[in-house]
């Protein structure tokens, strides 16, 4: 082999080595970025878990309150009547006029029973907001799941509102059936 051919082979080997090193370096850098992303993800999940563990006593206290304070449904009719009476009474006390009422189908989820009623009300905005605020106290287990407010064209100070109100009831299950076990370090 001539000297020029040897130099050409040597240059070719050096080029192949440089390209192989570059390719390997690029692959290793991509792998490093992937590992860094996974490490950040694990660190974030670790922090979230620590935060949840520090909040565990608060949530256990809330669960205990929920089990003792949430009413139990004895019958759907009784629950609907109680909700209706509550709506009529609180609306009267707040100065809200209920013009139309319609019961909703009862719902049972994995965590609660729900009865509901859709009411059409006519009043001024401030009494309506006060009534809605009064309805949704945590102790009453009542919630407003839908609210639509329209101004009354004939009376500038009044609005009509369509309000879907629901009340949540316990499933009447023993505490052991829906207990969440937590382990604290």
| Confidence (pTM) | 0.64
Helices 76-94 and 125-135, axial angle in degrees (round to 10) = 140
Distance of CA 107 to the CA centre of its chain: 19
pLDDT at 181: 43
Looking at domain 76-169, does it have CATH number 3.40.50.300? no
pLDDT score, position 172: 64
Domain ranges of the chain: 1-69, 76-169
What residues in the chain have per-residue pLDDT under 50? 173-185
């Amino acid at each position: 082999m001539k000297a020029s051919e040897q130099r050409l082979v040597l240059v070719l080997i050096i080029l192949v080595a440089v390209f192989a090193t570059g390719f390997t370096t690029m692959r290793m850098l991509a792998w490093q970025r992937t590992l860094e992303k996974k490490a950040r993800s694990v660190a974030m999940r670790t922090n979230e878990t620590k935060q949840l563990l520090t909040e565990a006593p608060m949530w256990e206290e809330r669960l205990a309150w929920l089990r003792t304070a949430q009413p139990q449904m004895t019958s759907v009719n009784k629950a609907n009547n109680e909700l209706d009476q509550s709506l009529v009474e609180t609306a009267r006390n707040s100065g809200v006029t209920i013009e139309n009422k319609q019961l909703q189908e009862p719902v049972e989820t994995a965590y609660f029973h729900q009865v509901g009623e859709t009411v059409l009300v006519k009043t001024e905005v401030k009494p309506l907001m006060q009534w809605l605020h009064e309805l949704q106290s945590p102790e009453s287990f009542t919630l407003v799941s839908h609210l639509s407010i329209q101004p009354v064209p004939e009376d500038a100070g009044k609005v009509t509102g369509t309000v879907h109100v629901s009340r949540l009831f316990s499933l009447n299950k023993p505490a052991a059936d829906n207990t969440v076990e937590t382990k604290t370090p």
